[in-house]
Amino acid sequence: MDQTTNGALVRRSRLRIAARAGAALLALGAWALVGAHGNVTPQPVDTTGLAPLGDEWRSVNPYAGNPTAVEIGSSGFNQNCARCHGLEAISGGIAPDLRRLDNECAGMKDKSAREACVKDNDDYMITTVRHGRSRNGAVYMPPFEGVLSQEAIWAIKTYLESRREKPVADVP
């Protein structure tokens, strides 16, 4: 075997080793990302102090601006949502930053348009939390209906409203 052929074989061997090492690092990184979620078993949320809402789901946040709901929602969020959406609702990039959920509504001058925008976001958020989100068979967010009560979910929404990146004026 001549020196040129031997050099080419050595380079290919090194490339294979580097590719395998890169694949191993990528797999380790993916495992760390999944493992970082920890135990994702939903935790109960004590909604004592909030008015019961009954069985029929509300379409508008009944606890908007309620300080007790903000406190309960903060605890509920940090126990159940922060693994993906970040502590205190500050996303680390795994899932959407929910402080920005109503940003497009904040800039609206027309009060009725702003209220409709917030209602649309309430609908989107509640539907997503209740039924989860999946795409092509991959679950991006598990469903929480039957796990968290309506009171707990609306308290979490109230907490998120208190953490808005851009305050939405005149919306209860």
Is 150 a member of any domain?
yes
Is 4 a member of any domain?
yes
Is 172 a member of any domain?
no
Q: pLDDT confidence of 32, banded at 50, 70, 90? A: very low
Is 94 a member of any domain?
yes
Whole-model pTM: value is 0.73
Q: Are residues 146 and 88 in the same domain?
A: yes
Residue 157 makes CB contacts below 8 A (sequence gap 6+) with 61, 63, 73, 122, 125, 126
pLDDT at res. 35: 45
Is 124 a member of any domain?
yes
- DSSP, collapsed to helix, strand or coil, labels residue 153 as helix
Neighbours of 147 (CB within 10 A): 17
pLDDT at res. 34: 46
Residue 109 domain boundaries: 44-162
